[in-house]
Structure 1
């Protein structure tokens, strides 16, 4: 359990549930073939702030977004940039893949996620490490 709290709009919960029930083919593939069985726990369609992110791992503070065609319009690109900046302001890391990436480069997508999940160890307290060594 963590003390880390992310705000969310409770009005988005019904929509998030609906999206969980109706995931896109690339989202289903990534979930069923990789994220669902990952040693890190992921949540599908998680409300954060006024957004619903595709996948969220609290331990790694990682958001994974799978982008379809609507993300590549001028409006979609601008919206995603703003959205990403807001999510990153909470200390979250956002990584994005296209539908095409998930379908045609699945192994590469999984490798990129593995790399993003590499959590550096917390810095050692010098006094604590010396004490541990002396024991």
Structure 2
């Protein structure tokens, strides 16, 4: 039986494993991730599309804006141990090698300073990857419609 006839090849099994793992990570996400996701989803931040627990290479990014090549990572307390800090540096270097920029914040920042975190993300996006089709400010273009 060929792959076109319905058998799943190794690539489709791998994709399914990635999909299942991402789903598990989303279900088990900490409060800080959930709180930040509520503000990033549905293009709420400057019209940019974010994905949660998005696979990038061999990693799962907490949040990824693929069009801008930006990854936002939230680090809990366990990330401040020496071994974990080295692993995070290697992870960031790996993501950078895939063409992504990584912004890291602590869970505490995401929970208590969410507005500042969102402002920093939006600042990076508008500086490094201006949105190609920004929405006009309210009221702009109304005069030309009346003429």
TM tier relative to shorter chain: 0.7 to 0.9
Match of 1:79 among 72, 87, 96: 87
Is it true that 1:94 corresponds to 2:102 in the alignment?
yes
Are 1:29 and 2:35 an aligned pair?
yes
Counterparts of 1:57-68 in structure 2, within 5 Å, are: 57-68=65-76
- TM-score w.r.t. the length of structure 1 is 0.77
Aligned to 1:49: 57
User: Could you tell me whether the CA contact under 8 Å between 1:12 and 1:52 is conserved in 2?
Assistant: no
Larger radius of gyration: 2
TM, length-normalised to structure 2 = 0.71
Distance of 2:34 and 2:87 partners within structure 1: 24
| Structure 1, unaligned runs of 5 or more | 1-8, 123-135
Provide the C-alpha distance between the structure 1 equivalents of 2:85 and 2:18, rounded to a whole number of angstroms.
22
Q: CA deviation at 1:12?
A: 3.2
Specify the alignment match of 1:6 in structure 2: none
Q: How many residues align?
A: 113
User: Structure 2: any 5+ residue segments left out of the alignment?
Assistant: 1-13, 133-147
Distance 1:121 1:98 in 2: 27
Instruction: Give runs of ≥4 in structure 1 deviating > 3 Å.
Output: 9-12
- Looking at secondary structure, tell me which structure has more helix per residue: 2
